[in-house]
Chains A and B, each alone.
Chain A
Amino acid sequence: MKIWWIMIGLGLGTFIIRVSFIALFEKWEIPTLLQRALRFIPASVLFALVIPQLLTYNNALDISPSNPRLIAGMLAGLVSWRTKNVMLTILSGMLMLWLLQAFCASP
């Protein structure tokens, strides 16, 4: 049940953001503080989700070369940074993860 409320909230919220200046407050401008904050939001939200997933292994903090997700994630981050290519990023990260899991099987 809860998931349906979240879905409706997200759908409505996203629509309100999209329609905001087109129909709701046409005569306004984006507040300066929000305008300055906006460009920091996507990378901050996404990194707040990504970094814990790369630095933890089996729910414990693991900042070592034996953590395959950390190594694969760092490679993918490098590829993404250099190429800005979504497919190359995902492919390189997955390949590295598979290689590490195949050859350095950790318990």
Chain B
Amino acid sequence: MPTNCSEFSSGVKSLLPILVGVIPFGLISGIAVIQTNIPATHGMVMSILIFSGAALIVALQLINAGAPALVVLFSALAVNLRFMIYSASLAPHFKRLSAGWKTLLAYLLSDQAYAASILHISESASPEHSCWHFLGSGLTMWTAWQISVGIGMFVGASLPANWSLEFTIPLTFLSLATPAMKDRPTTIAAFIAGAIAVLARGIPFKTGMVIAVLVGIGIGMLIEEWKR
């Protein structure tokens, strides 16, 4: 019979190998945050509030470009909508937990913790114990992420400006986008969104960005529909 403690430590252990990819990305994200001219304290508070690297950089970059709050919220929250899928997939297993547990585990939800724990949780017979597995993997991810972002910001602030490090921002987005381009419809949707963003870049308040994303998604869905 698994105990809370053994479940927690097995959760921690299941996340450890994933950290090989997490820590460098946290460092890069910290460096990218600094390139947006946002003070490090703001960046750190924001990182803790939203606990999501892609959304953090998307938001800061748009804030820096002078986009209005609604465009920033639309773009950054759209990137995070994927958490809804994880939320729906974990919901049946967390059903009997208290509101406090649900709140804590929801906050700790990340791509990595989900990947590390979902198999264990769905195979476990006792959700009261397996929630400790998710707590273990989620807390490990959270701690490693925040520390590496913090170090990245610290290092980023002392690197020379003529290294063009602000270019790490589009490069980070590229490396996050290509794995999401799994087939032809998703790839076409992404390129159309990019092309429209270029054509619409003169539209005030960065609303061209919103139009580009909505048209890209719409066309992707249409192509998928035709293929059936």
Contacts and interface: CB of A to CB of B under 8 A. Distances in A.
B105 interface: yes
Interface string A15-34: 10111111100100110001
Interface in A47-97: 47-56, 61, 69, 72-73, 76-77, 80-81, 84-87, 89-90, 93-94, 97
A77 to B, nearest CB: 5
Q: Chain A's interface: helix, strand, loop or mixed, by majority?
A: helix
Interface in B178-228: 178-182, 185-187, 189-198, 201, 209, 212-213, 216-217, 220-221, 224
Contact of B195 (A5, A15, A51, A93): A51
B126 interface: no
A53 B49 CA distance: 27
B176 A30 contact: no
A18 B224 CA distance: 27
Contacts of B116: none
Q: Assign chain B's interface to a size class.
A: 35 or more
Interface in B27-48: 28, 38, 42, 45-46
B80 A11 contact: no
List of 8 A-B pairs having minimum Cβ-Cβ separation, nearest first: A51-B194, A11-B49, A44-B216, A19-B106, A43-B190, A47-B194, A46-B177, A89-B175
Interface of B: 21, 24-25, 28, 38, 42, 45-46, 49-52, 54-55, 58-59, 61, 63, 69, 72-73, 75-88, 90-91, 94-95, 99, 102-103, 105-107, 109, 163-165, 167-182, 185-187, 189-198, 201, 209, 212-213, 216-217, 220-221, 224
